[in-house]
Structure 1
Amino acid sequence: MTNPLLVLADHAASWRAREMPADVAHHARRVLVDWFAATLPGCSRPPATLIAAALEDETRGGGGAVCYVTGRRVPLRHAALVNGTASHTVEFDDIYRYAVYHPGCPTIAAALAAAQSRGATMEQLLRAIVAGYEVSCRIGVAVQPSHYDFWHTTGTVGTFGAAAAVAVLLDCDAERTAHAIATAATMASGLQQAFRGEGMSKPLHPGHAAEAGALAAMAAARGMTGALDVLHGPAGFAAATSEDTGKWDKALAGIGKPYAVTDMTVKNHGCCGHIFAALDAVRDLQLEHGFKADDVVSVAVGGYKATKDVCDRPDARTEQECRFSTQFTVATMLLHGGVRLAAFAPERLTDPAIRALMGKVTVALDPECAAAFPSKRSAKVEIRLKDGRVLFRHQHTRKGDPDAPLTDQDLSDKFLELTSDMIGPAQAKALLAQLWEGQALPGVVPLVVNQARAAE
């Protein structure tokens, strides 16, 4: 068979100079806007703040990349690690549904750090993003759905997105890009058990992927080689992390048809994406039928395997657990009409009204929803009311998916909602305009919390 790694490396390297269609460039800006929307709220929260503090000694010499957690110029790998971690903390990051994967967190964290360090242009950054998304999303398709039984795709496959994107910015030819991808494979990691329980490891996965991928590309640019059969070989990445040596014909046939960066899901809720279809159904049923949370007797959610395995958490208590709890998020939607940043404030986590509603929500595996995964992220919701009505909706897709996309205005509204408190409304509007239209890279964006500390 054709070596998939060489095909992907050749494609990635072509983005250094190939024509970039206007719609592809626009979608690359969309994912960049969305990355900042997800990242900046995570910059004042653990674990990104803890990692930045733990590695403070490593930044004293400065660097060319921006660490958005501290507002300092730092070395490339440091920025990739810390920013990549921050980007996955509040669960508002993009999704490539066919690979069960959040490509923006690792790919953009590494690409932006490399672009800033190299003094690149916005166009060069956008090219690198497109390449990183395409390479990693195709690898993700090759190993799914079985990869997701045990592995966190954003930590594993994200390493390839970071490596390919940084290789483009380092002007690696196809051969050196291939070695960057090959070396990245042996550092790809991220166990799913990390987010089936409590702990801070999950956001670290894309941070590690961004740093490891950047390292692989930096080493390859200097001549380091990797095993070029590492993706499809009998003891390679696919064999070790999925049910076979990879569905490469399917994955490679999809290159550019359409480009992955143009086929993204933009999150409309601040929690695990496996709950979104159920939340959309609950919201729409409540709007259409006008009932209140107090009117609800029960809510039965039927979903695909990950909805049941990862998000059936009837007694979730912590912020991390509640972001992955169908019970908590459905109760929050019924009571408050949305699941945004405020949903996970301390007072919400212990709200007796939410706790009471959680006990009325059940989750089950639905065979039809399971069969449609991962191409369709669906749910079936049945709500029983005290007046005897039984409401039902089969939600075939999620608001924000490619077939029900957020508009540019929706995305801008999301950005301003999530970032204005973090950097101030004026700075948020200025950064948004730069990301949509600017030709220069974004630089340091001081956090309000850091400015307050400096003034003390």
Structure 2
Amino acid sequence: MQNPLLKLADAAAEWSGREVPAEVAHDARRAVLDWFASLLPGAVEGPAVAMARAMASARGEGRAIAYADGNLGAPRHAALLNGVASHTAEFDDIFRDGGYHPGSPTISAALAVAQDEGADEDAFLRAVIGGYEVGCRVAMALQPSHYRNWHITGTVGTIGAAVSTAMLKGGDAATIAHAIAIATSFAGGHQENLQGEGQTKPLHSGHAADAGVLAGLAAAAGLTGSPDSLHAPHGYAAATGEDTGNWQAALEGLGDWTPISRMTYKNHGCCGHIFATLDALNVLRAEMPFAAGDVKRIEVQGYAATQSICDRMQVNSPRDARFSLQYCIGALLVLGRVRMAAFTPEALALPEIRAVMPRVTVAVDAGIAAAYPRRRMARVRVELTDGRVLERFQQTRKGDPDDPLSDAELAAKFDELAGAVLDPATVAPLREQILVAGDCLGALARPLALAGRN
């Protein structure tokens, strides 16, 4: 087997100089737009705001923007706070085949370093594409065993952030390889702080962005790591999973397709393991309308994570609600969709949503489980109080590469999330700069007046 770390480093280095196809450049802009949409709610409320206050004295010198406090500082500081903010509202992108959210750690790091370095937009977008290339493929190699105990966005995100940083520092393939190797020693974040109580999950992404910048800066300064860090018997895959990694799957199509063009953009503001169920219910309700009060029982069959992470009856916070399949079903039936309004204090207190939750059961279907992570399916059975039974086998998720959000749908998502925290007059011009006008780095190169900032 060829050394996968070196193969991936070569692939990232190629993105620094090769021609970027127009469609890939556009896909990178879509990723940046979606990242910023996901960041904005977390920049005015949640862990990033508290962290910005707590770490004010550690801001340091630099030109990178931390949107949670609107100040310029060192790239590591900005990457950390932006990584936390962009993983708070649970609206950030997904690489389905790796079960991984690359945008939050990777773009948070790439933007901070690009701003601090004074890089141009071309270099920034290339670094984002390269960071996604490596991080997403490493995630494929580690799944599914890694995810049983480790939060893959907090772990692999460190590697993606390191690659982007090394690229923006002008690193060649050797430098990028050392950045990957160093990052494997910094990568952490376990499942209990994803599945259990607390507010640590968004910090995983922030730490990944911060630690990835550190790894990239270290490699750019000439520090080295083991080239066997990913696949050796004592390397990262073996240390965090059951074997040394499925590198054949990870390297499949390298040079022919790139992960940033196969992203899932969230259509629902909750955990992605719930999406197929919500999509199935939307189809059933379109075919035969019913309301929350008409439901006697809903049975959901999915893959293991559907049950282990999202079978959650105790909902005391927005964070709990975003990971509760029962709550999200109730919210869909009562409110009509599961977006930001589903997680307000007013929504959490609605008795109509709470009344639905005990009627929902979750189980694992062996066939659906066998297709995970490349297929995210659900089998939904709805029994109504009038005796009707509705069934749907949902084989896709809206937003996945095989049923993608259009540019118009992605723009509408941005307008909804950004419109809640920005001056409405600034939303459309900002969106156009990022997605269409070819000035995404310029659009993000200044602090923004965020409503509700303390």
TM-score w.r.t. the length of structure 2 is: 0.97
CA distance in 1, matches of 2:267, 2:339: 8
Q: Does the residue aligned with 2:420 lie in a helix, a strand or coil?
A: helix
Identity rate, percent: 53
Q: Could you tell me how far 1:430 is from its partner in structure 2? A: 1.9
Give the SS at the match of 2:452.
helix
SS of corresponding position for 1:157? helix
The alpha carbon displacement at 1:41 in A equals: 0.7
Residue 207 of structure 2: aligned partner: 208
The match for 1:42 is: 42
SS at match of 1:231: coil
Aligned match of 1:371: 370
Contact 1:68 1:446 in 2 (8 A): no
Instruction: State the shift of 1:180 in Å.
Output: 0.7
Provide the residue aligned with 1:151 in structure 2: 150
Write the letter of the residue equivalent to 2:137: R
Contact 1:69 1:83 in 2 (8 A): yes
Counterpart-to-counterpart distance in 2, 1:257 and 1:404? 21
Residue aligned with 1:423, SS: coil
Q: Write the mapping of 1:333-372 to structure 2, written as runs, cut at 5 A.
A: 333-372=332-371
User: Do the aligned residues in 2 keep the contact of 1:152 with 1:190 (CA within 8 Å)?
Assistant: yes
Q: Distance in 2 between matches of 1:424 and 1:271?
A: 25
Q: Distance in 2 between matches of 1:399 and 1:5?
A: 33
Q: CA deviation at 1:232?
A: 0.6
Is contact 2:31-2:260 (8 Å) kept?
yes
Q: CA deviation at 1:350?
A: 2.0
Report the secondary structure of 2:132's partner residue.
helix
The answer to whether the 8 Å contact 2:44/2:451 transfers is no
Instruction: Please state whether the residue corresponding to 1:445 is helix, strand or coil.
Output: coil
**Number of the residue aligned with 1:195:** 194
Give the distance between the partners of 1:96 and 1:394, measured in 2 at CA. 22
Secondary structure of the residue aligned to 1:381 is: strand
Mapped partners of 1:249, 1:196: distance in 2: 30
Determine whether 1:11 maps to 2:11: yes
Gaps of 5+ in 1: none
Once the two structures are TM-superposed, the CA of residue 325 in structure 1 deviates from its matched residue by 0.3
Amino acid at match of 1:126: L
CA RMSD of aligned residues (A): 1.0
Structure 2 unmatched ranges of 5 or more: none
1:110 equivalenced with 2:109 (yes/no): yes
Rounded Cα–Cα distance in structure 1 between residues aligned with 2:374 and 2:267: 18
Q: Which stretch of structure 1 is more off in the superposition, 250-259 or 162-171?
A: 250-259
SS at match of 1:245: coil
For residues 92-111 of structure 1, what are the structure 2 equivalents within 5 Å?
A: 92-111=91-110
Shift of residue 175 of structure 1?
A: 1.0
- 1:438: how far off? 2.8
1:284-299 to 2 correspondence within 5 Å? 284-299=283-298
Deviations 1:370-408 (CA, angstroms, capped at 9, x unpaired): 111111100010000111110000000100000000000
Q: Is the 8 A contact 2:11 2:255 kept in 1?
A: no
Q: Following superposition, which runs of at least 4 residues in structure 1 exceed 6 angstroms of deviation?
A: none
Please give the per-residue CA displacement for 1:235-272, whole angstroms capped at 9, x wherever unaligned: 11000111210111221123244210000000000000
Shift in Å at residue 44 of structure 1?
Answer: 1.1
Contact conserved, 2:91 with 2:269, CA < 8 A, in 1? Answer: yes
8 A Cα contact 1:283 1:337, kept in partner: no
> What is the rounded CA distance, in whole Å, between the counterparts of 2:400 and 2:126 in structure 1?
23
In the alignment, which residue of structure 2 is the partner of 1:448? 451
Which residue is 1:165 aligned to? 164
Residue 24 (structure 1) aligns with = 24
Report Cα offsets for 1:429-450 as digits up to 9, x if no partner. Answer: 1211110123343222221223
Distance 1:254 1:44 in 2: 40
Residue 277 of structure 1 is matched in structure 2 by 276
Alignment partners' CA distance in 2, 1:371 and 1:186: 31
Which stretch of the first structure deviates more once superposed, 284-293 or 357-366? 284-293
Q: Which amino acid aligns with 1:143?
A: L
TM-score (ref. length: structure 1): 0.97
Local SS of the residue matching 1:391: strand
Q: Secondary structure at the match of 2:187?
A: coil
Question: For residue 56 of structure 2, what is the aligned residue in structure 1?
Answer: 56
1:433 equivalent in structure 2: 432
How far has the Cα of 1:301 moved from its partner?
A: 0.6
